[in-house]
């Protein structure tokens, strides 16, 4: 056992340092995203979803860092990864819209000015929509029309269409102040 520890002492130390740095990065990213979510008054479920995406990105960075520390043969690893991605790419080609909707969901989280309760009007000549946002999911928005219909609208289409936003009106509590 001591032979193994002494033989791989440098790699073990670098691995421990990498794991500590990645945990620190994960913690900081989580804090930053949650702070942006609180300052922008976003739904906590929506914020948690973006934190989960950031954690996945940190995990992938960690795998790459550990691979470098342990001197993984990248030619063999590259062959394995390219083969796996080729099979996944062929199998999931029709699922490309899922990835674009997830990406659009992340972009909407950080940049778009609407939130749950806002009334929006989507400027689409084929399918104009005027509705209130009930929920914002990873793949789509849940919209309630004035007629009471529930519509799911893909996130990636929101980036492609013009959206007119009417902010939510605060309810009157009878005190005479807003």
Per-residue pLDDT tens over the stretch 108-128? 888 877 788 899 999 988 888
Q: Which residues contact 103 (CB under 8 A, 6 or more apart)?
A: 156
Dist. CA 132–CA 156, nearest whole Å = 18
Q: State the pLDDT at residue 58.
A: 95
Q: Is pLDDT at 143 greater than 90 in this prediction? A: yes
Q: Residue ranges of the domains in the chain?
A: 2-72, 104-166
* Token representation of residue 79: 């062959």
Q: Is pLDDT at 36 greater than 60 in this prediction? A: yes
Mind giving me the DSSP string for 25-63? HHHHHHHHHHHHHHHTT--HHHHHHHHHHHHHHHHHHHH
Average pLDDT score over residue span 135-144: 88
Q: For 6, which DSSP code?
A: H
Average pLDDT score over residue span 134-140: 86
Q: Is pLDDT at 178 greater than 70 in this prediction? A: no
CB 80 within 8 A of CB 72: no
Could you give the angle at which helices 96-111 and 44-69 cross, rounded to 10 degrees?
Answer: 110
Q: State the pLDDT at residue 102.
A: 82
Percent of the chain with pLDDT over 70: 88
Q: Rounded mean pLDDT of the chain?
A: 85
Does this model's pTM top 0.85? no
Q: Which CATH class is domain 104-166?
A: mainly beta
Q: State the pLDDT at residue 96.
A: 72
Q: Is pLDDT at 167 greater than 60 in this prediction? A: yes
3-state class (DSSP) for residue 109? helix
Q: How many helices (H) and strands (E) does the chain have?
A: 6, 5
């Amino acid at each position: 056992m001591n032979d193994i520890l002494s033989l791989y002492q440098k790699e073990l130390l670098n691995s421990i340092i990498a794991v500590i740095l990645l945990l620190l990065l994960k913690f900081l990213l989580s804090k930053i995203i949650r702070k942006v979510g609180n300052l922008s008054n976003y739904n906590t479920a929506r914020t948690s979803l973006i934190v989960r995406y950031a954690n996945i990105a940190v995990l992938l960075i960690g795998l790459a860092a550990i691979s470098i520390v342990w001197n993984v043969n990248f030619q063999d690893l590259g062959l394995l990864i390219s083969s796996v991605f080729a099979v996944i790419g062929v199998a999931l080609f029709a699922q490309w819209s899922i990835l674009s909707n997830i990406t659009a969901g992340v972009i909407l989280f950080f940049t778009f000015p609407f939130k749950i309760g806002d009334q929006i009007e989507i400027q689409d000549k084929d399918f104009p929509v005027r509705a209130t946002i009930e929920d914002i999911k990873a793949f789509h928005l849940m919209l309630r029309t004035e007629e009471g219909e529930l519509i799911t609208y893909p996130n990636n289409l929101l980036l492609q269409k013009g959206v007119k936003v009417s902010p939510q009106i605060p309810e009157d509590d009878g005190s005479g102040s807003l």
